[in-house]
Every structure is written in C-alpha cells, then in structure tokens.
Structure 1
Amino acid sequence: MLAKGSSIAYFRPSLFHIVVIVKRASGCVEQKFGPLGETLKNKLKMPRKLVNHQKSVNSDRNFTVSSLEFCLSQLRKADSQLVKKAIASGDGLTQSTDDVSTRLSEAHRYAVQTCIDNSEPLAELHNQLVHCDNVFERLQATLNSFQDSLGTIGQDMKKLQLQSHHIHQELENRQKVRLELSQFVDDIVVSQPMMKTINEVDANHRGFLEALHELHHKITLIVQRGNGDAVAVNDTMPVLEGLKLKAVVKVREWLLQKMYQFRKPLSNYQVFQHQLLKCRFFYEFLLHHDIISAKELQDEYIDIISKMFFTYFKAYATRLFKLSMKDVATKDDMLGNVDTVKSGGLGGFFTSKQPVVRNKATVFSIGQRHHIIGEEFLGALIVPHAATQNNQSYQFEALFRSIQLAFVDHFSHEYLFITDFFLVSNEEAIDLHNKAMGRAMSVVLKSCEDQISLSWDAISLHLCLCMCDKFTELLKEREVPDVPDYWISVTGLLWTRLNMVMSAHYDSVKSVDLKKLIHSESLDTRPHFIVRRYAELTSAHLIIAKTSDRKMGDKMEAILESSEDSIEQLLTRMSAMQQTQKNKHVFLINNYDLILSTIDDEETKHSKIYEIVHELEQKSIDDFTEEVLEPHIGYMIKFVIECESLLNQGHTQLLVRYNDKIGTVVANFNAKWRPAVDSINTECIQLFANFSLGTNILQTIFTKYVQYINRFTKILAHDVFVRNPVCSQLVNVHQVMLEIKRFKPAY
C-alpha cells in the first residue's frame, strides 16, 4: 500500500496520459499506443511482493477505477478541441510512454526499499494489532457477561419493588387499624381523675367543666358508633351512665341556685346572666342527656325573669312618672283660650290676693325639646331617686323616652341571652322571649297609656310618636325581632290623643268670642297673640318632623291643615271688624307675616302649610297695594283698565271718547305724583311694625305705581291719541323712578 501510495505521489499524468488511460479503458489502448499500452497493462497488473492477498487485488482495481474517474473528470474540464487534437496526432506518444515507464519503475523500487527499511516497525505494529485484538475480545466477553448480569438485576429490582409496595400497604393498614383502635380505646376508657372530678369536685371549679366536656364526648361517640360486638363497651357504659346521672344532678342544682339569685331585690341580674353564660355547657349537657331537666330549668328561668321584669318596670314607672313637671299643659291651655284678669275698682284695692296669669309660651313653643329625638335620644336613663334628691322634674317626652329606652335595652339584652344560653332560634326563640318579657311589656304599656290619656301637650305627643319610630329602628339595628303589636298599641294611643288635643286647639279657635277678645272700639292691626301661639305650635311640629329625618306624614299634614283652616277663619272674622278696608289688609298681612317668619326655614319652606300661608299673604299684599294706590292714582288706574279692556277686545274706535279725559288725568298726575310718593312712604312706615316687611311692601307699591305709569304711557302712544298735544306734557317715568329711589332701604 505504501509503495502504491508513493507511486501515486510521484506520478502526475499529462493530457496525453489521460487520453491513453481513457483509450485503454475503452479497449483501444493496445491499438493506439502499442508497447506503451502493454507496459501500462503489465504495470497495473504487477503483483504485490509484501502482501499477497486478495484484498491487494481489489485495492488495485479500486485504484484503477479511481484513476479512471479522476482522468475522466480532468477530460471534462479540458478543452475539447485540444483533446481531439491530441488524440488525432500521435506525436510524442512513444517518448511519453518511455518516460512514464521509467518513472513507474523508480517508484516501484522506492516503494519496495521503503517497505524493507520499515519491516521491523511494521512487524511490531502487526504484533500490537494482534494484542489489541485479543484485548478487545476479552473486553467484549466481559461486557457480554455484564449485560447478562444486568438483565438479572432488573428482574430482581422489579421483584423488590413489588415486595416494597406490599410491605408499605401492610404498614398503612396497620397504622389505620392502630389509630382506630387507639381512638376507640381512648373513647371508652374512663379515667380515674375524670371519675373523681365528676363525683367530688364542686361545679364551680374549672376542672368540673372540663371533666363534663370529656364525659359528654365519650357518651356521644359511643352512642354514635353503636355498641357493636366490643365487650369493652358493655363494661364501660354502666360506668358512664352512673357518671352522667351524677353530673346531671350537680349541674341541675348549680343552675337552679344561680337562677334563684335573680329573685334578690336590687340585684343586678345581668351579673348572674354573665355567670350562666360562662357555664353555658351545663345547660347544653342537660339538653343532650336529660331533656326533662333542661325543660324544667328553662320554664323556671322564664318564670323568674318574667316576675323580675314585671316588678322592676312597675316600680320604675311609678317612681319615674312622679317626676313629671307641675306646670304642664292642661285642657285650659288651648290656642283660643284667653286669660282674663280683673283689674281696677274697689275690689281690687281691698283684696290682698293677686291674680295669676299663666305663661303659655312653654305650651306652644318647642325651645330645645326637639333635641330629645336627636343627639339626646340614646342618653342616660333617668334615675328616679337621684332626680328626687336634686328636685328635678321633666316633660312627659323625657319620661317616655327613659322608660321606653329601658324597656328596649332589657328587651334586646334578654333576647340575646335566651338565644345564646338556651340554644334556640327563629320562632322558638321569639316565643320564649315573648314569654319572658310579656308581663313587663303589659305594665309598661299600661303606665304609658295612663299618662298619655292625661296629656294635653301636643308637642310632647308628637315627640313621643317620633321616638316610637326610632325605637323600632334601634331594635332592627340590634338584630332583635320587633314587637309590632306593642308599638302599634303605643303609637295608636299617641295618635288618638294627639288628634284629640289638636282638635281641641282648633275648636277653641273656632269658638273664640270676639266680643270678649276685643276691649276697644277698634281692633289693633298688629299680630294677634292667638296667631303667635298657632305659629309657634306649627313651627314646633315642623321642627320635630325635620329633626326626626322623616317626611311629614299624611296624618300630621291633615292635623296641620285643620289648624291652619281654623286660624284662617279666625283672621277673616277679626279682619272684618277693622274700621277700614286698608286696616283689614294690614291686619291680615301682619298676622300672615308673623306665621311665615316663625316657621321660616330652608326645609319648612317646602311644606304645604308654608305654601298656603304664603299665598294668603301675597293676596293680602296685592289687595293692600290697590287700596294704597287708589287715593293717589285711582283716576289713572280706572283710565288704564278701561282703555286696555277696549284694546284687548279690539274696539279701538271707542277710544276716541277718552281724548277729553287724557288732559284731566295728565294734569292731576303732574300735580300730585310727588306728594303721592311721600304720602305712600309715610303711610307704610306707620302701618307695619316689622320694618323689613314694611319696606318690602313699600317697594311692591312703588313697583305697581311705576307699572301703571308705563301702562298709561303705552296707551297714550296709540294712534288714536298720538295727535293729542296733552300726551307730551306727562311727567317722564324716569323722573318718577329717581324720586322713588330716595326711599329705597340702604341694606
């Protein structure tokens, strides 16, 4: 192989050699090249001297084929004309053949010599290759044995994994059985400490409650699981039953003792309830294991607490309502009632007894009383003995709030206690709660009914009605079931009494004897004291509705409208007794203004009563304005009204007859307008005590005054009067307005 490689390294065929090889391959080498072709054939077939094996022959053949392929590739790249020319001419082929033979011989000798020189390394290499073959054979055998061993190990691992799974499953099963058995043993075992605690320790001790929990747990679990075939359960149950009976007796006695403490006078029952709640499990134990005893305790508690609340509220109501104010409204304190005092004469001189006139301001005005349904609603309760020591007295609404708030507080607290301690809910809890508070509810209702039936204070009754709504909302906030029958009864009593009192008020107004009311020939135009009372009472009702954050109900609206109707009738009767029509209007305006100024508020302005009175006042102001303007510009007013009527009807041709009247109207106005303005100003200041009202009405009159002048001027501008020279003599309206501005208030 080395010789062959060496010959290839030194041999680089030319184009002629390539042509020769191609010719030889095609079977034409001998014919074209002769001896050179034979030499090449022999050279290619020259045997190997060092390696005489079939592989050498194959190698030479492969070499020949590869040489051929190389030559063919070179022929493809060469110039086709040059190849044809080289084949066609045979010049230099003999010389080239000799040259190739010489070079091939030298290459052969060099290759042989090289092999001889390297024979020892080649032999050593051969030995090493043989040794490596042996090593590889042994390694192959070892690996084959490893492969066989690994196959066996995989099967062993599968077996071990399967065994491990079975062992793990067995372990889990045993652990489960162990847990069940240990739990079962713990459930049925009755320890000596527990038995000793149940039998000997007092129920007040903390350890007794823990032992009771443990006993309840054991009995419950055994009952739930059932006795089954376990002999140990049959041995344990008699012991547990004995302990249960002992525990039931001790728990029942302890609970009864705590409940009997509620009977002690002046005791704080909520402290005892707190103690019961700490040991609520006592009752729960009885409820599970002795339902008869639990029902007995429940009935006993309801009976005790019912009597306790009845006694408490009866005593509290009796003492509380003794704190009522002495100077309260009576049936004589009506809107239309008049206090008369005999004065003068010898009788008054010789008698030492002074007449007493009651001040009815506190009866009809609200003052600060409305705060009781605001920030003072949830204030402290009234303590009767402390108030008695301090000589304090209260309005009825304060007493009503105190007793109702006490009832609501106890009512709420008791419901929460019953649901928490007796473990009841829904209808059962409501029924039990009503039994506990029923007697107290009846005594509170009876006490309030007695006091309401004696009340003549409409403000107080209205405040109490608003408080009933707030108490109902308070119960809802505390998530306590409401008692609709109770509150319906209370509000029914209040509405009935309020209707009666307010009816008495406006009946007294309707039945006022004006002859007794008026002590002089003429009635004063200033606001009347009955109207002032009405305004204050109406304002009180509106303030109460505003403070309670509720809209005025239909019932209250009807009551206020009835009162307003009675006052309106009274004012109509009294105004009819005025000497002049102008005084009649002034009297009505002053009284209506008093009502509006008393109930004037951002919210009450939107009330129906305010709207009614405001309309009546505006009507009276309009009538008064016409009365004031009549003496000064009545002739102009009559002229304007008649002419405008003709113009509106389209009878413009009839206006001609008014040409003669224009001169009189213009002359009178020019002569009297300035004194008229001064007179109107002086008259309004004298008639109205309220300066603000007087100035507003004065501006209204002047506005109406200027409007009539403008209307008159507009009529004069009509085509019928345009040629009348008198029209241009009328005083300019701007001059009149400048004069009027002198009387405009500075504020």
Structure 2
Amino acid sequence: MPRKRVAFQKADGNDRSFTIASLEFCLSQLRKADPNLVKKAIASGDGLTESKDDVSTRLSEAHRYAVQQCLDNSESLAQLHHQLVLCDNVFERLQATLYSFQDSLGSIGQDMKNLQLQSHHIHQELENRQKVRVELSQFVDDIAVSQKMMKAINDTDANDRGFLEALHELHHKITLIVQRGNGDAVAINDTMPILEGLKLKAIIKVREWLLQKMFQFRKPLSNYQVFQNQLLKCHFFYEFLLHHDLISAKEIQDEYIDTVSKMFFTYFKAYAARLFKLSMKDVATKDDTLGNIESAKPAGLGSLFSSKQHVVRNKATVFSIGQRHTVLSDEFFGALIVPHAATQNHISYQFESLFRSLQLAFVDHYSHEFLFITDFFLVNNKEAVELHNKAIARAMSVVLKSCEEQIALSFDAISLHLCICLCDKFVNVLAEREVPEATEYWNTVASFLWTRLNFVMAQHYDSVKAVDVKKLMHSGSLDTRPHYIVRRYAELTSAHLTIAHTSGKEIGDKMEAVLESSEDSIEQLLTRMSAMQQTQKNKHVFLINNFDLILSTIDDEESKNSKIYAIVHELEQKSIDDFVEEVLDPHVGYLIKFVNECESLQAQGHTQLLVRYNDKIGTVIANFNAKWKPAVDSINSECIQLFTNFSLGANILQTIFSKLVQYMNRLTKLLAHDVFAKNPVCAQMVNVHQVMLEIKRCKPAY
C-alpha cells in the first residue's frame, strides 16, 4: 500500500492531503465512531457533497493508475502466469505419483497381514501336531507292554528289586487306561487282556509274599519289628492289592491284625508273669503300718523250741523313699528289665520299677504299632484308631489284668504313689509321640492305684488311731524323745512330697486329702501320748520334739510350701509358746501374774483398783532382784537337756529369755504409771540391760 501511495503521488504531482491510505484510515475511524454522532452528521448534511465529489475524483484517478500499472507490467504478469501453469503441472504429476505410492503401500500392508495370518495358522498347526505327537507317544508308552516287564512279573522273585519296579509300571499302565477310558482305540482292546493277566499274576505273588512275611511273626523268639521293616520297604505291595483286589487287601489286613493281636497277647502275658517274679521279697506287708508297735524279740528256751521263724526284715524302704523317686526322672526311659538276665544275676526290684518296665514296653509297642499301621495300611484318623485298637486290645487287657492283680497285693504306699505319677508321665509320652493317648486305659490303671493307695493309707492312719498308748510306755512312763511311729509318719509324708515334686506336678486334691488324714491321726496320737507324760512341761517337750522331727524330715524348699508343713509348723509354734510360759512360771510366775492383772486394770481404766497393788510392788521387785539370776542359770541348764535337737533347744532358750525380757519391759512400763510413780520401791528394780548381759553369757555355742 505505501508503494501505491508513492506511485500515485508521483503521477499526480499534486500535494493533496487526502490519499487512499487516509481514506482507509477515515473509514476505520468511522467504524469506531459513535453511530449516533455519525447519524447526526449525516443528518446535518454539512460538506458531504463536496466530500463525495472529491472521493469520486480520487477513485477515478486511482483506477486509471492501476490500469496503467497493469499495462506497464503485462509481460511480467504473462511470465508469472506461465510459471504458475508449469508449477500446477508439476504438482499434478507429483500428486499422481504419491497416489501411486499410496496404492502400492496399501497392497503391501494387506500382503503383510495375509502373511502374518498364514504364519499363525502354520504355528498353530505345528503346536497341535506336537501335542498330538506327545499324547500319542505317551498313550503308546502307556498301553505298550514290554517284554522286560512281562518277564519281571512272571519270573522274577517278589523279593527282587526288579519285581517291585515292574509292579509300579504295571499299576501305572492299568490306572491310566482306566482313567482315560477305552474309547475307540483298538490298541487298548489288544493290550488290556495282557495287562489283566499280568495283574492276576502279580496279585497272586504279592498276596503270597505278604502272607509269608506275616506267618514269620508267629515264630518263637522272632523279632517282629525286623519283618515289619521288610513290609514297610515293600508297602507298595499292599497298595497294589488295595487298588486292584480289595478282597485280598482285606484278607491281608485281617490276617495281620489277628497275628499281631495274638503275638502281643502272648508276649505281654509271658513278660508280665516273669517280670513280677523279680519282686523284692523284703517288701511292705499288711503288718507294716505306721501304728505297728515293735515288740522285743522272744528270749529264753521258748524261742529255741518255737516253730515260728522270726525273720529280721529291712523296713527302711517301707516308710522312707531313699532314691526310689529316680524312677520318675533319670530311670524313666532306662532300659527294660530282662527277666532271665535278672534271674541269673539274682537281682530283684521294687514294684514301681517292674511297673515302669512293663508299662514302658507296652507304650513303646503301642506307639510303634500305631505308626506302622498308618504307614503300611494307608489309613488315618478314625479308621487307623479302630485298626490299632483291634491289634492292641488283647495285649492291653492282659497288662491291665496283671497290673490289677499285683496292685491288689501291694501294701507299699510309696510304690503306689510312684506308679500313679508314672501313669501321668506315660500319658504325656504318648501325646508327644502323636499317637492315641489310650485315656480309658490309663484312667483304669490310675483308678486301681488310687483305690489301693487309699486303702493302704487308711490302714496306716487307722493303725495309728488304734495304738494302745499304754503299750508304748516303759517302766510306767513315756520319755519325751521323738517316737518311732512319728518318725515313720515323717518319712512317709516326706516321701509323698518328694514324689510329687519329682513328678513335676503340684500335689492334687486326692493326695492332699490322704496326707491330711494321716496328719490328723498322728496329731491325735501325739495328744494321747502327751497326756501320759508326768508333768505339763514334759507334755510340751514331747510335742515339740515330735513336731520338730516331722518338720526336719520334710524340710526342703518345695515341702515348706505344702499345706502339711504349715499345719505341723503351726502346731509346733503353739507347743513352744505353751512351753515357754510353763518354764517361766516357776521362776517369775509372780511377776507374770502381777503384770497381767495390772495391764488388764489399766486397759479398763480402773485406776482406783491399781492403787491396791502399791503394796505388792515391793514384794515383786524384791523377789525378782533376788531370783532372776538363778532363774536364768536354771532355765539355761534345763533347756539344754530337754531337747534332742540342739539347734531347736537353742532357739527355744532364746525365746524364753526374750519372753522374760518382754515381761520386764512391761513391768517397767507399768511402774511409770502415775499410780506407782511416787512409790520409792520402783527405783530398786534391776536394770533390764544387766539381765540381757547375763542372758548373752548363757547363749549356747552350737
């Protein structure tokens, strides 16, 4: 536009202010102007005619100028048109070429899609053929019967490894053919008769082999576990029968259960009979009770001609436990007792050792048999338990019967308690081995033991209650030393507590009741025996010595927590308190009486009545000042001789002196009361520290 404006100015040569550019500028400003103002200007009509004429003139001139410019540049425009036509032709040919390329590319893409589809079809056909080939090859292998397998089934011994491998192969072929079904394969119809014939041959050989092994169980002195191991190595024989001949499999199972049941019955019947013959001869009898009074041996000519033999028996194991509790710990899993070896070596055993050996043998066979049945006969849960019960039931009954007979003859409470704890441990062993716990069996055995233990312990404390105290007296009196009946009780109670501790369980309610009944009978006996003492002091000394014997016998950390220990300890403390008062009474009884009466009146607030005791104070203080030192010496020498346990005597002596000092302190506190404070006699009371120094001098050096 500037070029046109310049050219226009040169052609016209006139310096007018209006140009085309200015006209365009005016029009643009006119579009931006307010329409109302434009309308108003047009309506007024001022100068529009002149402007119109001027614009027309200018437009004419511009048209002429444009035409002239076109004429001047006509050749250039013709060349430009020719060039444009050439370019259009080039572009048209290029477009045709590109369209050709596009058509070619479209056909190539389609060809590639076709090739891809063909490749996929070919790949799928290859996979299908390979699958068919594998399946067909496997099918041919499954139905093909090799000469090697036929020879192994027909000719090879069942003990040979090759027969077992051929049996696996035969089972595999028959199973696969049955699972697939016959279908339309003609080859199966040709193969199945051969496989059936081989199967019948294998069933016959396997059945005969299994029966032969089971018949070997019946041989005397044979180790059946060796044959069981052989059966387990060839457990596939039974599995083959289970899949292909249920009748033969059931026959084998029934034969095995019947054979093992008879074998266990015979074994445990013979073992129990031989085992219990090893029982010690020197065992507790019905006469070995707590209350049995030991009589002196007969003397003189009468004993020479007496037909009754007086056998000196060792009763140490009747009431004391010794090392018998190790049967629950170190010896629990010890070797079984071999009867013929023990007989040759002249060895005898306590009942609990025989009981442990019998029950351990039963538990081992019981556990082993359950594991064998589950592994060999391929059963579990309820079916396994039923088979196991059938195999072991007769042996269990004979063991129960033997135990019941022997338990009924036992009078050994320690042995019975040990056997009860053994039953609990065997139950835990079966639980750890994850086999049926035979709860009914152990409950029955425990019931036999508890019934007998209650009976034996009842005999013990009944014998104690029936003791004639007069027969225990010698020369018309009974000494204050611990009695042998109490010693028996202490040892027996200690044995029961030791057994409970060794077993790893707390004492149950049943055992607590048994021990409390025994303690009650002993307490009653001690009361009756103490009543036969000549003095009240000797009565207390007798009780203290016997209670101390009981506590010292069962004195261990575990037993101190028992109820029996607490009961006896309380009884001993009561007797000691009574003895202390009894010892002090002859020496300072007047002081004790004075102190007790005055404290009672003081506590009740009877001050006027306390005044009356002013006259007695002088006598009390004078007597005490004169007698306290001889009293200390007398008490010291007396206590040393009264008690069999020096340590106990020393403790009681210190208790007596402590009690004496307490009474002195109480008297001193009374003398400080307002009623007695002005009495000049109170100052004459001996100093308590002087008494304590004298007491320390008398302290025994045990």
Q: Please give the range of the TM-score, normalised by the shorter of the 2 chains.
A: 0.7 to 0.9
Call closer, same or farther: CA 1:162–1:686 in 2, change over 3 Å: same
Q: Which segments of 5 or more consecutive residues in structure 2 lack a partner in the other structure?
A: 7-14, 24-60
Once the two structures are TM-superposed, the CA of residue 346 in structure 1 deviates from its matched residue by 6.9
Q: Which residue of 2 aligns with 1:282?
A: 237
Aligned mates of 1:51, 1:681 — CA distance in 2:
164
Once the two structures are TM-superposed, the CA of residue 655 in structure 1 deviates from its matched residue by 1.1
Q: Which residue of 1 aligns with 2:321?
A: 366
Q: Which residue of 2 aligns with 1:113?
A: none
Call closer, same or farther: CA 1:350–1:304 in 2, change over 3 Å: closer
Pick the aligned partner of 1:459 from 410, 414, 424: 414
Aligned mates of 2:167, 2:309 — CA distance in 1:
80
- Matching residue's letter, 2:437: D
Give yes or no for contact 1:535–1:599 (8 Å, CA) kept in 2.
Answer: yes
Q: Does 1:469 align with 2:492?
A: no
Give yes or no for contact 1:509–1:567 (8 Å, CA) kept in 2.
Answer: yes
Q: How does 1:322-341 map to 2 (within 5 A)?
A: 322-341=277-296
- Matching residue's letter, 1:192: Q
Call closer, same or farther: CA 1:563–1:351 in 2, change over 3 Å: closer
Once the two structures are TM-superposed, the CA of residue 440 in structure 1 deviates from its matched residue by 1.3
Call closer, same or farther: CA 1:214–1:664 in 2, change over 3 Å: same
Once the two structures are TM-superposed, the CA of residue 168 in structure 1 deviates from its matched residue by 2.9
Q: State the number of aligned residues.
A: 665
Once the two structures are TM-superposed, the CA of residue 259 in structure 1 deviates from its matched residue by 0.6
Q: Which residue of 2 aligns with 1:703?
A: 658
Q: Does 1:560 align with 2:560?
A: no
SS of 2:651's partner is: helix
Q: Which residue of 1 aligns with 2:76?
A: 53
Give yes or no for contact 1:329–1:457 (8 Å, CA) kept in 2.
Answer: yes
Aligned mates of 2:679, 2:79 — CA distance in 1:
158
Q: Which residue of 1 aligns with 2:562?
A: 607
- Matching residue's letter, 2:634: S
Alpha-carbon deviations, 1:275-319, whole Å to 9, x = none?
001111111111111111111111111111111111211221122
Q: Does 1:572 align with 2:595?
A: no
Greater Cα shift, 291-300 or 218-227: 218-227
Give yes or no for contact 2:280–2:350 (8 Å, CA) kept in 1.
Answer: yes
Q: Which residue of 1 aligns with 2:379?
A: 424
Give yes or no for contact 1:341–1:355 (8 Å, CA) kept in 2.
Answer: no
Q: How does 1:334-733 map to 2 (within 5 A)?
A: 334-342=289-297, 357-733=312-688
Call closer, same or farther: CA 1:351–1:439 in 2, change over 3 Å: closer
Q: Does 1:164 align with 2:187?
A: no
Q: TM-score, normalised by structure 2?
A: 0.86
SS of 1:719's partner is: coil
Q: Does 1:181 align with 2:136?
A: yes
Give yes or no for contact 1:666–1:727 (8 Å, CA) kept in 2.
Answer: yes
- Matching residue's letter, 1:53: S
Aligned mates of 2:634, 2:79 — CA distance in 1:
158
Alpha-carbon deviations, 1:17-69, whole Å to 9, x = none?
xx999989549xxxxxxxxxx9xxx9xx9999999535999xxxxxxxxxxxx
Of structures 1 and 2, the larger Rg is shown by 1
Pick the aligned partner of 2:185 from 227, 230, 234: 230
Q: CA RMSD in A?
A: 3.7
SS of 2:109's partner is: helix
Once the two structures are TM-superposed, the CA of residue 172 in structure 1 deviates from its matched residue by 3.2
Once the two structures are TM-superposed, the CA of residue 478 in structure 1 deviates from its matched residue by 0.8
Give yes or no for contact 2:472–2:478 (8 Å, CA) kept in 1.
Answer: no
Aligned mates of 1:213, 1:351 — CA distance in 2:
82
SS of 1:504's partner is: helix
Give yes or no for contact 1:561–1:609 (8 Å, CA) kept in 2.
Answer: yes
Call closer, same or farther: CA 1:411–1:20 in 2, change over 3 Å: farther
Once the two structures are TM-superposed, the CA of residue 228 in structure 1 deviates from its matched residue by 2.7
Q: Which segments of 5 or more consecutive residues in structure 1 lack a partner in the other structure?
A: 9-18, 28-37, 58-126
Q: Does 1:319 align with 2:254?
A: no
Once the two structures are TM-superposed, the CA of residue 166 in structure 1 deviates from its matched residue by 2.7
Once the two structures are TM-superposed, the CA of residue 678 in structure 1 deviates from its matched residue by 1.8
SS of 2:613's partner is: helix
Give yes or no for contact 1:635–1:665 (8 Å, CA) kept in 2.
Answer: yes
Once the two structures are TM-superposed, the CA of residue 197 in structure 1 deviates from its matched residue by 1.6
Give yes or no for contact 2:282–2:314 (8 Å, CA) kept in 1.
Answer: no
Aligned mates of 1:729, 1:149 — CA distance in 2:
147
Give yes or no for contact 1:538–1:560 (8 Å, CA) kept in 2.
Answer: yes
- Matching residue's letter, 2:534: Q
Q: Which residue of 1 aligns with 2:35?
A: none
- Matching residue's letter, 1:587: F
Once the two structures are TM-superposed, the CA of residue 345 in structure 1 deviates from its matched residue by 5.6
Give yes or no for contact 1:339–1:357 (8 Å, CA) kept in 2.
Answer: no
Give yes or no for contact 2:657–2:695 (8 Å, CA) kept in 1.
Answer: yes
Call closer, same or farther: CA 1:221–1:25 in 2, change over 3 Å: closer
Pick the aligned partner of 2:212 from 254, 257, 260: 257
Call closer, same or farther: CA 1:700–1:20 in 2, change over 3 Å: farther
Alpha-carbon deviations, 1:515-549, whole Å to 9, x = none?
33222232111111111111000000000001001
Q: TM-score, normalised by structure 1?
A: 0.81
SS of 1:208's partner is: helix
- Matching residue's letter, 1:664: T
Aligned mates of 1:335, 1:439 — CA distance in 2:
40
SS of 1:53's partner is: helix
Q: Does 1:734 align with 2:689?
A: yes
Call closer, same or farther: CA 1:301–1:143 in 2, change over 3 Å: same
Aligned mates of 1:346, 1:501 — CA distance in 2:
37
Give yes or no for contact 2:592–2:663 (8 Å, CA) kept in 1.
Answer: yes
Q: Which residue of 2 aligns with 1:100?
A: none
